[in-house]
Amino acid sequence: MSVTAATPSDWKTVGKTASITRRFEFPDYARTSAFLDRVNALSEETGLFPDLGFAATYVNVTIPDDPERDQFALRINEAYAEGAE
């Protein structure tokens, strides 16, 4: 699986793998932490556990090849939008 029509346009492929990645940026650590909590809840709900790399004001999310990958990416985008409100 690579980037498909269903892959959100703000996500990119990782090398030659079927993983996709996106960087999310935040104005402060409190919002970064709240986003990580939302991603954790999604992971527990779906059973998909992305690779996360983060610092005080950003989170890099990489989702491995999985049939539900694109839908999970959309849900992470929604979790990010929730924090922007």
pTM of model > 0.85: yes
- 60 beta partners: 23, 53
Which CATH code, of 2.30.42.10, 3.40.50.1820, 3.30.1360.20, 3.60.20.10, is assigned to 12-84? 3.30.1360.20
pLDDT tens, position by position, for the chain (85 residues)? 455 557 888 999 887 778 999 999 999 999 999 999 999 999 999 999 999 999 999 999 999 988 899 999 999 999 999 877 6
Nearest one of 1, 28, 32 to 14, comparing CA atoms = 1
